[in-house]
Amino acid sequence: MTFRSRLAFVAVLAVFGLDAASAGAVPLLPHKASYRLSLDGSKPSGQLEEMNGEIQYEITGDACAGYSTLTRQESLASTGEGSPLRQAVTSTAWEDGAAKAYRFLSTSTGDDGADKIEASVERQGPDALKVTVTQPAARTLDLKGDILLPTEHVKRVLAAAAAGESVLEAKVYDGANDPAKVYETLAVVGRPSTDERRIAAPAKESLAGRTFYPVTISYFETGGVDRAPAYVMNMQLYDNGVVGSLKIDYGKFALVGAMSTFEALKAPEGCAK
């Protein structure tokens, strides 16, 4: 079994055609967080008997310097036949604060082998991206359409939530699994809350009093949102970009992520954007 995913809250954390500043959104909080992964027992999982692991996530920077992210996901899956299958995916990325440039390196290791994807992206106007792939083989890709980059997507979701918007379709690119792939996404934002009883214990001090939204983002292969999604992410998304909890539904099985550690990092100073 190959298990590969990169959190869209950057990932995932990601849309509504609004500018974040115009909607009064707060800056993204530089932070580190980790999430324990376990199989969702409420959903049938077929031959998969057990799966667990961890997501480690870090974001630093701001709209002036750009945003640097690190995402590492490790998993251990058991089907009851043979040894458990291990996989680790690590993705490092930098995105320009104005979403005009993006570069990333994604590495995957596991029982089924190892691979690496490295590329840089330049925005060629409002409806085109130029992707220069350096690994595994050099090539250039021209992607057409109004396509959002990962952190840009997060900021758009937060801007829409702050403006009272609730639904949006958008194209999103992160490239970590396939440098040529653009996902169609459908985001649904629920009602805001400040219920401190729902703050994960590691982040209580940092997130006390902050607004969060229940957000569901469905990711579809190219062709539109009228088909079954490749996967669906449900998350508790705070107005500063922190994800409190999450669930990733792959159709045949689903994983639940519970925050296990959290550390707020010092934000850069002097950025007026």
Residue 251 banded pLDDT, cuts 50, 70, 90: confident
What amino acid occupies position 182?
A: V
pTM assigned to the model = 0.87
The greatest distance separating any two alpha carbons of the chain, rounded to the nearest whole angstrom, comes to 57
Count of beta carbons in the 10 Å neighbourhood of residue 54: 17
pLDDT at 43 over 50: yes
- Compute the chain's Rg from CA coordinates: 18
| Tens of pLDDT, residues 64-122 | 999 999 999 999 988 777 778 889 999 999 999 999 999 999 999 987 788 999 999 99
- Total residue length of the chain: 273
| Contacting residues for 199 by C-beta, under 8 A, at least 6 apart | 207, 208, 244
H or E element in which residue 140 lies: strand 139-144
The answer to whether 34 touches 48, Cβ cutoff 8 Å, is no
Q: What percentage of residues in the chain have a pLDDT greater than 70?
A: 88
Q: Which of 91, 40, 46, 44 shows the shortest CA–CA distance to 246?
A: 40
Listed range (14-18, 218-222, 252-256) with the worst mean pLDDT:
14-18
Which of 5-14, 172-181, 196-205 has the largest mean confidence?
Answer: 196-205
